[in-house]
C-alpha cells in the first residue's frame, strides 16, 4: 500500500470549507507534514475575513492558493478545480438549531452545493474526492442531519454516475463532535468559566462521540490511501456524557438543565440499524459498503474482504462504552 507521502507527491489538493474546523485543521496538517511533497493546495472559503486571517497565518507558504467563493456557485467551482487531483469537501452549514428555522439554506449548501462538487469533480476528472460528514446523518432528527445524509448519498452514488463509472472515486468520512471546534461545548465552557457564569445543558444524560482535529486529519489521509470508491469510513471514537466534559473543564460550574433544542438528539450513533448488515471493521475504524456499490464492485474483490463483519449485537450508540480516558486534548481550562 502507498504511504501518504508517496500518494500526495506532486498532487494538487483542493479543500472546501478551508476556514472551518476540519478544513482548516486538515490544511494545517498537510502543511506541517507534507508541504514539500504536494504541488499546490487550493483553499476555498466564502468568508473573506476568515480567508484573509488564514492567509496571514500561512503567508510564507507559496503553494497555498486562496479562492474566495461559494460551493453554491457551480461556474466558480469549475474554474477553481481545473487540474485538481484530490478534493476534500468539508464546507457545510452545520448549526443544528438554525437548520430547523432556515431549512432551505442548509439544502442549498449541504445538498445542492455537494451536487455541484460532484459535477465538477467528474467534469474535471479529479482522482479522488472525500466528503466530510457527521454522525448526525445517522437516523437523523434534524435538518442538518437529514441534509448530510443526502450529501452522503449523493457522494456514494456519484461513483456509478454514467459520466463517471469509478473514474473519479468518491468516498465519505463520518466523524463525531470535534474537540475544541468553534461553537462547541469546549469553547462555550471556557468562555463561561472565564466569566464565572453557569453552564446550560439541555439534557443531563446527553452523550457525544469525540475526535480531535489531528485525529480527523490523519484519518482523512488514511482514507485517501485505501479508498476504492463508495465507502463510508467511520473512525472508532470514544464517547462520554456532555456533563462529564463540563466537569473536567469547569469543575465548579453551576449546571442548569434546560429543554432540548429543536432537532437535537440525546444520543448519537455511528452506524444506522440498516447499515449494520453492510458494515465491516478493522482495528481502528468501521467501513460501510453500500449495496449499490457492492453490486457493481463486490467487496470480496477489495481490501474489505480482509476486514471483519460487524456483529448484529454490536452497539454504535454514544450512550454505551462511555469513557473520558485518553481524551485530554481537552486542555483543561
> Cα separations (Å) of 153 from 4, 37, 48, 131, 230?
27, 32, 30, 10, 9
φ, ψ (nearest 5 deg) of residue 2: -65, 145
The count of C-alpha atoms lying within 13 angstroms of the C-alpha of 125, restricted to the half-sphere facing its C-beta, is 1
For residue 99, give the 3-state DSSP assignment. Answer: helix
Give exposure, 10-36, as e/b (b: 16+ Cβ within 10 Å): ebbbbbbbbbbbbbbbbbbbbbeebee
Q: Which residue has the cell 464546507?
A: 91
Contact present, 135 and 268 (Cβ < 8 Å): yes
How far apart (Å, rounded) are the C-alpha atoms in residues 246 and 244?
A: 5
How far apart (Å, rounded) are the C-alpha atoms in residues 242 and 233?
A: 24
Q: Which residues are catalytic?
A: 136
Amino acid at each position: 500500500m502507498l504511504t501518504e507521502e508517496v500518494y500526495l507527491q506532486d498532487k494538487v489538493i483542493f479543500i472546501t470549507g478551508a476556514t472551518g474546523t476540519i478544513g482548516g485543521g486538515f490544511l494545517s496538517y498537510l502543511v506541517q507534514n507534507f508541504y514539500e511533497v504536494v504541488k499546490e493546495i487550493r483553499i476555498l472559503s466564502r468568508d473573506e475575513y476568515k480567508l484573509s486571517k488564514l492567509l496571514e497565518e500561512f503567508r510564507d507558504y507559496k503553494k497555498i492558493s486562496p479562492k474566495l467563493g461559494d460551493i453554491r456557485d457551480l461556474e466558480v467551482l469549475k474554474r477553481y478545480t481545473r487540474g485538481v487531483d484530490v478534493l476534500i469537501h468539508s464546507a457545510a452549514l452545520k448549526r443544528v438549531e438554525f437548520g430547523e428555522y432556515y431549512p432551505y439554506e442548509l439544502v442549498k449548501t449541504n445538498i445542492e452545493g455537494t451536487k455541484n462538487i460532484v459535477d465538477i469533480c467528474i467534469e474535471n476528472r479529479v482522482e479522488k474526492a472525500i466528503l466530510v460528514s457527521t454522525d448526525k446523518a445517522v437516523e437523523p432528527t434534524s435538518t442538518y442531519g437529514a441534509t448530510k445524509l443526502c450529501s452522503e448519498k449523493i457522494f456514494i452514488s456519484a461513483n456509478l454516475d454514467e459520466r463517471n463509472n469509478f473514474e473519479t472515486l468518491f468516498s465519505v468520512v463520518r466523524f463525531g463532535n470535534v474537540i475544541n471546534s468553534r461553537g462547541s461545548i469546549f469553547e462555550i465552557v471556557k468562555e463561561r468559566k472565564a466569566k464565572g457564569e453557569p453552564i446550560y445543558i439541555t439534557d443531563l444524560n446527553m452523550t457525544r462521540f469525540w475526535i480531535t482535529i489531528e485525529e480527523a486529519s490523519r484519518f482523512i489521509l488514511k482514507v485517501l490511501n485505501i479508498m476504492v470508491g463508495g465507502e463510508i469510513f467511520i473512525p472508532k471514537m470514544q464517547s462520554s456524557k456532555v456533563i462529564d466534559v463540563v466537569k473536567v473543564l469547569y469543575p465548579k460550574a453551576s449546571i442548569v438543565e434546560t429543554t432540548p433544542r429543536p432537532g437535537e438528539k440525546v444520543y448519537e450513533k455511528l452506524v444506522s440499524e440498516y447499515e449494520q448488515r453492510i458494515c465491516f471493521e478493522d482495528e481502528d475504524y468501521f467501513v460501510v459498503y453500500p449495496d449499490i456499490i457492492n453490486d457493481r464492485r463486490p467487496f470480496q474483490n477489495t481490501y474489505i474482504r480482509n476486514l471483519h463483519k460487524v456483529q448484529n449485537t454490536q452497539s454504535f450508540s454514544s450512550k454505551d462504552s462511555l469513557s473520558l480516558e485518553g481524551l485530554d486534548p481537552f486542555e483543561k481550562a
